[in-house]
Every structure is written in structure tokens, then in C-alpha cells.
């Protein structure tokens, strides 16, 4: 089923790819995405049209590959990237700086709209070498939260010059990723396998809750919150395991699933179809975890050498990824897992899903768009 997927070779390693959000009630599939690069002499933020819309060849195959609309130089590696709204993208740099870029759709240009220099730093903001990588950014317009290698959490508001709030020693280890649980609460993951919840209404610089992976202290690289059930989060880390947590119960993950054979870089619930979860890894794979159907009636196969499908049961309440992932009786049903990039050898660093479309980027200097995720 490779014909619905198009590839574009871009001569730079892609660290992040994000769909531009669709306007509310939009019926069309996503049409634009942004990418950021890393480990190149000249890193760039680029805006692409997804292509493929209406460009169908004689045999019904899509012809159009993604087309570059505009790009702009970026100082340092792109560590994370989030759309703030239809026009603005917030980018986290390895230099510690956070930049808001604006995409001008009338003339297809990008400009740096706002910049917080060295939002993250090791010693002090003024020394030339003091920058610490900003590892994660999450937006809930007008608010922007960033985390970094320096264990610092910043709360910015777009169009305000200074941070609204900074928690200086939020963590003694590296913070790798952050997500909003609700408008006043965020969740961070760190390099010693901990999740921490922060209530931004509290003035104390302490987390309101701490969860811990295991005694192994495996670094956690990524986190995503279930779009409808705010107490459910998924995390992935250095050992390639997928962990699913219910933050209402206990301090341990509810389930730990064998996933990738190397670091998991991103995990995403599908925003409108959260029975589907996606993960990508340093091992060159991108997995689609599908719990939408009772898979016990289907043959369970996995395009992965020798690894069998993970087994979990559905709870009777609702047949969602959550109930199957959180179930305690793993004998009845299965989660169907498909590797969407069977023979990629270099790292799949990033993915994003919106509507029927998937975009992902790799260290093989390529971006891929799949327009028929659920075909």
C-alpha cells in the first residue's frame, strides 16, 4: 500500500514535522505542514504544501509530492516545534532560544516574529556559551510552555516580551517533553523516568504529583495526552517501550508495552480518532497501534521480524485504545500493530497525524506524507 505515500528528499535531516492545524469545522484534509531540521550546517524551518489533492494519475495513484512553499534559516538544531495558530509556529532550539515564526500566506514567506533569547541556559543568560537546549514546547494559545536541558520550565505568552512565569529548578535532570493536561496544568517527563504534574495556578515551584517509571530510571523522551480523556497519557523513552498512565491512579504506569528496539522519539494519539496511536523510533520504524476493532477475528500479523502482536483485552466499558492498553486481562483481544515504514534503516525522528494524513521525517533526509491512513 505504498502508492498513497509520497516521499520528498530534502538534503537535510528532519527532526520535526507538524501539520498546520485546520480551522474549526474544516472539512478538507490538512494541506500544509512545517518541518525543522537538525545536525546540518544550515538548519531550516520549512513550510510545505502536502500535494496530492486532486492530482490523481491515470491509475488512481497520487502524483504530487510535497512542494516547498518557503523556508528560513534557524540558528541551532530544531529540538521541537508546535503551531500556535494557523500562521505562527513556535520553535525550540538547541541554543536555548525559543522563536515564533510567522508564515505569510499572501506572499509565501516566513519571518521571525518574536524571540526569547536563551530561554534555557546553564550558568546565566549573559555568558556567550551558557545556552542549554530547549527540548520541548507546547502551545495553548496565547500560552507557550517550554522545558529544557537545564531543568527549567518557562511559561510565555505570545506578544509579551518576558516570561510570565519561570520555575528555575523544576528538575535536577533534563526535561525532555511537556504537554498540557488542562489549561492550568502541565505534565513534564525527564531523563530519569519521571512524570511530574505542575499546577500553574500554584506559586510553589514544586510539582503537585510525581510518577515514576520503575527503578530503572530510563529516560523518557516523549509524551502525549489522550485528546478526550485528560487523565490518560502515553510516554516513550530510551528503551523503546510504550507506557500508558492513568494519572488518577497510583504512581506507576498502568501498562508497559514492548514496542521499538531503540529510542522512541515521539508518541501521538490521533487527535480525532484516539483509538489509533502512533510511535516512531531511532530503529527506523513507525508503528500504528489500532484498537478500533475486535482484532481477534482478524489474523494478527506484524510486519516486524519475529515479533508477535501485543495482546490486551478490551474492557466492557468502551473499546478504545485506552481500555485495551489499560486492561489487566491480556488474553482476549489484540491490538493490531502495523509498521508503516517496513524497510527504513535510519531513525524516524518525528511524526504528526491529522485527519486521514500522516507526515513523518527521518535522518535519511526525507519527508513522507501518507494521505490514506485509514484506508
What is the DSSP annotation of 173-192?
Answer: S-EEEEEEEETTEEEEEETT
pLDDT at 308 over 50: no
Q: State residue 51's pLDDT score.
A: 78
Tally of CB atoms within 10 A around 31: 16
Q: State residue 130's pLDDT score.
A: 72
Q: State residue 23's pLDDT score.
A: 86
pLDDT at 276 over 80: yes
pLDDT at 60 over 70: no
pLDDT at 322 over 60: no
Tens of pLDDT, residues 73-126: 999 999 999 999 999 999 999 999 999 999 999 999 999 999 999 999 987 666
Is residue 58 very low, low, confident or very high in pLDDT (cuts 50, 70, 90)?
low
Nearest to residue 269, comparing CAs of 288, 252, 297, 286? 288
pLDDT at 176 over 60: yes
Cell triple for 298:
482478524
The kind and range of the H/E element at 289 are strand 286-290
pLDDT at 27 over 90: no
- Note the residue count of the chain: 375
Range from 11-25, 104-118, 201-215, 263-277 carrying the lowest mean pLDDT: 201-215
Please report, for the chain, the start and end positions of each structural domain, with discontinuous segments joined by +: 5-293+317-370
Is residue 324 very low, low, confident or very high in pLDDT (cuts 50, 70, 90)?
low
pLDDT at 62 over 80: no
123 phi and psi, to 5 degrees?
A: -105, -70
Average pLDDT over residues 196-210: 93
Distances, alpha carbon 104 to alpha carbons 111, 232, 291, in Å: 8, 36, 40
Cell triple for 136:
520541548
The span from the CA of 80 to the CA of 61, in Å, is 33
Is residue 340 very low, low, confident or very high in pLDDT (cuts 50, 70, 90)?
very high
Mean pLDDT value across the chain: 85
Tens of pLDDT, residues 232-275: 999 999 999 999 999 998 778 888 888 999 999 999 999 999 99
Give the predicted TM-score (pTM) of the model.
Answer: 0.87
Q: State residue 15's pLDDT score.
A: 98
In this structure, are strands 276-281 and 286-290 parallel, antiparallel, or unpaired?
antiparallel
CB distance 120 to 163 below 8 Å: no
Range from 30-44, 216-230, 280-294, 304-318 carrying the lowest mean pLDDT: 304-318
Nearest to residue 224, comparing CAs of 185, 279, 183? 279
Is residue 343 very low, low, confident or very high in pLDDT (cuts 50, 70, 90)?
confident
Is residue 2 very low, low, confident or very high in pLDDT (cuts 50, 70, 90)?
very low
pLDDT at 298 over 70: no
Q: Most confidently modeled of 5-9, 119-123, 364-368? A: 364-368
**320 or 142: which carries more pLDDT confidence?**
142
Q: State residue 106's pLDDT score.
A: 93
> Hey, what CATH class is 5-293+317-370 in?
mainly beta
The span from the CA of 251 to the CA of 212, in Å, is 6
Amino acid at each position: 500500500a505504498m502508492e498513497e505515500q509520497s516521499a520528498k528528499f530534502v538534503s537535510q535531516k528532519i527532526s520535526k514535522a507538524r501539520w498546520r492545524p485546520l480551522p474549526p469545522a474544516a472539512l478538507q484534509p490538512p494541506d500544509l505542514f512545517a518541518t525543522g531540521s537538525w545536525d546540518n550546517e544550515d538548519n531550516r524551518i520549512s513550510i510545505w504544501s502536502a500535494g496530492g489533492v486532486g492530482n490523481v494519475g491515470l491509475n488512481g495513484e497520487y502524483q504530487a509530492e510535497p512542494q516547498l512553499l518557503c523556508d528560513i534559516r534557524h540558528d541551532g538544531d530544531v529540538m521541537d516545534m508546535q503551531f500556535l495558530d494557523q500562521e505562527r509556529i513556535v520553535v525550540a532550539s538547541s541554543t536555548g532560544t525559543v522563536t515564533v515564526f510567522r508564515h505569510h500566506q499572501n506572499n509565501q514567506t516566513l519571518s521571525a516574529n518574536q524571540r526569547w533569547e536563551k530561554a534555557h541556559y546553564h550558568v546565566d543568560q549573559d555568558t556567550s556559551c551558557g545556552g542549554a537546549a530547549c527540548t520541548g514546547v507546547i502551545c495553548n494559545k496565547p500560552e507557550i510552555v517550554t522545558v529544557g536541558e537545564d531543568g527549567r520550565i518557562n511559561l510565555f505568552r505570545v506578544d509579551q516580551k518576558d516570561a510570565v512565569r519561570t520555575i528555575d529548578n523544576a528538575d535536577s535532570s533534563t526535561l525532555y517533553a511537556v504537554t498540557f493536561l488542562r489549561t492550568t496544568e502541565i505534565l513534564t517527563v525527564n531523563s530519569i523516568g519521571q512524570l511530574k504534574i505542575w499546577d500553574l495556578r500554584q506559586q510553589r515551584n514544586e510539582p503537585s504529583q510525581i510518577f515514576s517509571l520503575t527503578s530503572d530510571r530510563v529516560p523518557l523522551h516523549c509524551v502525549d495526552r489522550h485528546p478526550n480523556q485528560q487523565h490518560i497519557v502515553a510516554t516513550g523513552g530510551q528503551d523503546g517501550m510504550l507506557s500508558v498512565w492513568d494519572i488518577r491512579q497510583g504512581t506507576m504506569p498502568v501498562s508497559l508495552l514492548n514496542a521499538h528496539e531503540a529510542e522512541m522519539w515521539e508518541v501521538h494519539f490521533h487527535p480525532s480518532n484516539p483509538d489509533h496511536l502512533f510511535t516512531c523510533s531511532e530503529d527506523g520504524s513507525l508503528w500504528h497501534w489500532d484498537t478500533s476493532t475486535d482484532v481477534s477475528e482478524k489474523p494478527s500479523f506484524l510486519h516486524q521480524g519475529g515479533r508477535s502482536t501485543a495482546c490486551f483485552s478490551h474492557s466492557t466499558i468502551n473499546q478504545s485504545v485506552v481500555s485495551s492498553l489499560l486492561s489487566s486481562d491480556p488474553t482476549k483481544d489484540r491490538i493490531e500493530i502495523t509498521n508503516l515504514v517496513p524497510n527504513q534503516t535510519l531513525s524516524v525522528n518525528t511524526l504528526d497525524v491529522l485527519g486521514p494524513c500522516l507526515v513523518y521525517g527521518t535522518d535519511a533526509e526525507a519527508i513522507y506524507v501518507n494521505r490514506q491512513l485509514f484506508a
